[in-house]
Structure 1
Amino acid sequence: MNPVSSRPAQYTALRMYALGLLLLLAALFAGRPAHAQLRVDISGTGATQYPVAIADFAVDDAHGRALAEVIRADLSRTGQFRLVNAAGAGLNVDSPVAYDDWRGKGADFLAYGSIQRGADGRYDVRYRLADTVKKGQLDGVAFSGTEQELRRVAHQIADRIYEKITGVRGVFSTRIAYVLKLGNTYELQVADADGQNPQVALRSREPIISPAWSPDGSRLAYVSFESGKPVVYIRTLSSVARVPVANYKGNNSAPAWSPDGSMLAVALTRDGLSQIYVLNADGSNLRRITRSPGIDTEPTFTPDGRSIIFTSDRSGGPQIYQVGLDGGEPRRLTFNGGYNISPRISPDGSTLLYVARRDGAFRIASLNLSSGTETLLTDGRDDQSPSFAPNGMQVLYAAIQGGRSVLAGVSSDGRVRQTLSVLNGEIREPTWGPFTR
């Protein structure tokens, strides 16, 4: 079978968008009625692994163990940490640390703490991070939360451990969004970065595609087909409020936020073939950016907000280009291979992610924009929709494994891979949310 002809409808649409985008996208999420559950599988290790022991948090045994397990799981998923057994440590924040003993067990770092329920029903969590090499405390902080908030507290502690040891901000307390197809229903879901605690932000009988986080994490832009054609909406996550911001003649698709949250870039067919436009986040002040005889789509802003990277077939096949907000002649960025789509730029602007067709397979690739070096990060037959973590260290994407669509991740150097399996249901278009305060 020709691997191109067997692509999911999303890729067929990108290759043949001028031949009927609406019908192709409506067929995007073929699946079976099911209930979704998540499981994490990890393979590979980072170039550097930091040996760290995470002791169960003392006093409240049940919650103390659960808190520590979440922290261990967070750090393990990165492939950058080697967990040292801390069973039976019996430490709390007031315990003296036997640095030489822990160093002898192979731990350069030791995280420990205590958790206790107060009279008001809230839990007080105190945490410490010790450096066994320098024989001193590296970090320490106190948190307070309800029982339902303890998982969030664990992610915040994991973020602190990650940053104190690696020097890079952790992303464990950030969120992800994706579309899940359950029978004849489409759900826009928001979950923790580890895929747990999923919440339904929107449910519809019509397809939902292209979710995009606002820079402050308070809103999601997305495309809905509920009116019979694709329309771009913005939904505020703290309420049920949503507004249509692009509902022009033809197709309205592929929203992307500017870094300051004031604008959206979109792909519209209002003037013929798909072209790139920008408009204010309230839907006003529409302005056309590209003018080509081909198809321009999938815009994304550069981190400085001064230009847009997008997919275009103006060279005969889909490639990735960059153009300033003032328009002008776009600059081509990808030259390896005849099919490169779905661009995403790293937070520091140094690396471009995209879907590349290589040897008949569709894989996630990264391009060093300074050196021009391309790296294939994945080895699947059908990998799609890449999205950088806000610290640039990991990549979220959708993959087909065993005939099923799953949520997957890979480190930005390609060394560590994880699969967040959806046991039932079809998952599409994941996007990693921003850092939030």
Structure 2
Amino acid sequence: MIKHFRWLLAACLFVAHGAWAQLTVEITGAGANRIPVAIANFAGEGLLPQALTGIVRADLERSGLFKLVDPGPAQVAENAAVDLTQWKERGADALALASIVPAPGGRYEIRMRLYDIARQGKPDGMIFVFASATMRETGHRIADFIYEKLTGEKGVFSTRIAYVSKSAGRYELKVDDADGQNPRIALRSTEPIISPAWSPDGTRLAYVSFQAKKPIIYVHSLATGVQTVVANFKGSNSAPAWAPDGKRLAVVLTKDGSSQLYTINVDGSGLTRVASSSAIDTEPQFSPDGAHIYFTSDRGGSPQIYRVPSGGGNAERVTFEGGYNVTPRLSPDGKTLAYVTRNGGRFQIAVMDLATRQTQILTESSRDESPSFAPNGRMILYASEIGGRGVLSAVSADGRVKQKLSGSAGGDVREPAWGPFNQP
């Protein structure tokens, strides 16, 4: 039988600890050739209850792709005359300046200018208007702007992560900013909550809850808090995964015996069996184009990853290296497969280039689970176990950048899921 970590951990490895607060990020590895960037203190920042500059700097630093250059204590307006040669001599390849002024309706306007000193092009500019309540979100958006201009790919600082924590016998499904701050509780329960999965538009979470004393699949609106039952068939209903169109879910049901793959509309209609076998099929994930469903099965004698056309058909095996490979997760571009592999008795996060079939083990710990790609494909969020306690960590898809997310008040966290890019 597949010893599926998600079910085992939900059933017996959640440990009660003190109250859980927000997460903090510790960078334990950094990428090569980091971009040296100076983020000068924003002019007019004293108008705000919290420094925006600190949010932007922290975002860029924890990405592992930037090296922060000390700009000095002075506030520098975005329209200030600057000597770029001087900044280059201080080691900066890029310079960000900004000014904050009051705006109508009790809001604020921030005007910023970004100089790419290394390329010596014209500066890029941006204007943000925001309220105090959205100040952290604005800081993340500024960091995304800088990230995209300097790397050529979209930043993920404005995205969110979901995870499950347990404290004092209570389970909570939480949604945080991508930096582990600003936690919001989507659901509280005295019964386990597992397998959260983001809808493609980021407005809903699908998950499994035992609140009715059996595993039932729900879809939860983050805006209204309304739960909708999607699958409540006889036996177990588990492992929901969204189709790219946001209209269907791949699910695992035992209503006809062993765990088998189905698709179902979000309103609970249109149940369709996708694959048939006498083995255990579980942990489905749609490919980004919706053409295939990747899943874990022991149909070959040991847990391995397979894929099947999403409309049904013959399954083909994907992983062959190693005797235990589970929890397939596709990168947003569909080119890389992340999964959990058993390596020398340790369960670690690995990636496979689907074109070349080359594999790489990214993590060094012994009980890693639940990999989840950032929407730009750069980082992979996952859960690990340290000292008998569940913690969240992240690693870049090339293994160079490593982060550890930990709580200030202890706790036990599992089942991370990285949300999509924010909708315009």
TM-score range, shorter chain: over 0.9
What's the C-alpha RMSD, in Å, of the aligned pairs? 1.8
* Structure 2: distance between partners of 1:319 and 1:354: 10
What is the CA distance between 1:26 and its match in structure 2? 3.3
* Structure 2: distance between partners of 1:433 and 1:80: 21
Show the counterpart of 2:349: 364
* Structure 2: distance between partners of 1:189 and 1:65: 24
What is the CA distance between 1:27 and its match in structure 2? 2.7
What is the CA distance between 1:207 and its match in structure 2? 0.4
Show the counterpart of 1:428: 414
Report whether the alignment pairs 1:157 with 2:142: yes
Show the counterpart of 2:267: 282
Q: 1:13 to 1:386 in 2, by over 3 A?
A: same
Show the counterpart of 1:255: 240
* Structure 1: distance between partners of 2:66 and 2:20: 33
- Greater alpha carbon shift after TM alignment, 271-280 vs 419-428: 419-428
* Structure 2: distance between partners of 1:364 and 1:12: 17
Aligned with residue 383 of structure 1, among 362, 368, 379: 368
Report whether the alignment pairs 1:71 with 2:56: yes
Show the counterpart of 1:5: none
* Structure 1: distance between partners of 2:219 and 2:66: 38
Show the counterpart of 1:7: none
Report whether the alignment pairs 1:351 with 2:319: no
* Structure 2: distance between partners of 1:260 and 1:82: 38
- Greater alpha carbon shift after TM alignment, 199-208 vs 28-37: 28-37
Show the counterpart of 2:115: 130
Secondary structure of the residue that 1:329 maps to in structure 2?
coil
What is the CA distance between 1:427 and its match in structure 2? 0.2
Secondary structure of the residue that 2:305 maps to in structure 1?
strand
Q: Which runs of 4+ in 1 moved over 6 A?
A: none
Q: Is the 8 A contact 2:14 2:390 kept in 1?
A: no
Q: 1:134 to 1:294 in 2, by over 3 A?
A: closer
Report whether the alignment pairs 1:395 with 2:380: yes
- Matched letter for residue 415 of structure 2: E
Q: Is the 8 A contact 2:166 2:411 kept in 1?
A: yes
The runs of 5 or more residues in structure 1 that have no matched partner are 1-10
Question: What is the correspondence of 1:72-151 to structure 2 with a 5 Å cutoff?
Answer: 72-118=57-103, 120-151=105-136
Show the counterpart of 1:331: 316
* Structure 1: distance between partners of 2:22 and 2:144: 25
The runs of 5 or more residues in structure 2 that have no matched partner are none
Question: What is the correspondence of 1:286-301 to structure 2 with a 5 Å cutoff?
Answer: 286-301=271-286
Q: 1:144 to 1:327 in 2, by over 3 A?
A: same
Secondary structure of the residue that 2:314 maps to in structure 1?
strand
Q: Is the 8 A contact 1:56 1:65 kept in 2?
A: no
- Matched letter for residue 419 of structure 1: K
What is the CA distance between 1:127 and its match in structure 2? 1.3
TM-score (norm 1): 0.93
Matched residues, percent identical? 54
Q: Figure out how many residues of one structure are paired with residues of the other and give that number.
A: 422
Question: What is the correspondence of 1:33-48 to structure 2 with a 5 Å cutoff?
Answer: 33-48=18-33
Q: 1:52 to 1:24 in 2, by over 3 A?
A: closer
Could you list the per-position Cα deviations for residues 47-71 of structure 1 after superposition, in whole angstroms to 9, with x for gaps in the alignment? 3311110111112337497211111
Secondary structure of the residue that 1:328 maps to in structure 2?
coil
Secondary structure of the residue that 1:327 maps to in structure 2?
coil
* Structure 2: distance between partners of 1:119 and 1:328: 59
What is the CA distance between 1:136 and its match in structure 2? 4.2
Q: 1:346 to 1:24 in 2, by over 3 A?
A: closer
Show the counterpart of 2:4: 14
What is the CA distance between 1:119 and its match in structure 2? 5.3
Secondary structure of the residue that 2:417 maps to in structure 1?
strand
Show the counterpart of 1:188: 173
What is the CA distance between 1:132 and its match in structure 2? 1.8
Q: 1:325 to 1:60 in 2, by over 3 A?
A: closer
What is the CA distance between 1:144 and its match in structure 2? 1.3
- Greater alpha carbon shift after TM alignment, 31-40 vs 178-187: 31-40
What is the CA distance between 1:39 and its match in structure 2? 1.9
